[in-house]
Each structure stands twice: as C-alpha cells, then as structure tokens.
Amino acid sequence: MQSDVVNLSEKFSKFAEHRSPRVVAEMNDYQIKLAKFQGDFVWHDHKDTDEVFLVVKGAMGIELRDGTVHLSEGEVYVVPKGVEHRP
C-alpha cells in the first residue's frame, strides 16, 4: 500500500528538537522512531529489548562500557538488550 510508505527526509523535516523521538511506524509490538542527536546522552540500558541505531545523515558514536561504536551515514548497529550504552 502506498499510504504505508514513510519518507524519512520528510519526517525529519517536521521537527527540529534534539533527543525528542518521533514514532513514524509500528510493527508488531515495536515502534520505529526517528530522533535527532547532538552532544552526549545519559548511560542507560533496555532490559527487555534490543535498540537499533541507523544513521540517516551525519555520524555518531555509541559508547559502551568496553569501547565506542562509530557510525557513519547509512550504517546501522544493534545494542543488545541489557547492554549499558550512551549515544
């Protein structure tokens, strides 16, 4: 269905706030969220679910207790559930 297509560029253009995730789609019991990042975030984990980071534009680092994962445009990384991290 054409109405189910989500254009990420269009969705990103609708907000300017950083660290204010927006739900753009849902699948089963999961929400697909977009967020803009700038600066460091807080250390946290997710006990019951993995967390996916997909860089659409720019670059980011995800600090883990044993190192940092660096992502560039077009790259994706999955933080396993229970792993403490700081985007």
Where along the chain do its domains lie? Answer: 1-36, 39-87
pLDDT digit string (tens) for 5-54? 999 999 999 999 888 889 999 999 889 999 998 887 899 999 999 999 99
The DSSP code for 74 is T
Alpha helices in 1-87, H assignment, sequence order: 8-13
What homologous superfamily does CATH list for 39-87?
A: Jelly Rolls (2.60.120.10)
pTM, 2 dp: 0.84
Instruction: Give the integer Cα–Cα distance in Å for 6 and 53.
Output: 17
Is residue 1 predicted with pLDDT exceeding 60?
Answer: no
Q: Residue type at 40? A: D
Instruction: Please give the distance of CA 22 from its chain centroid, rounded to a whole number.
Output: 10
CB 32 within 8 A of CB 54: no
- Three-class DSSP category at 75: coil
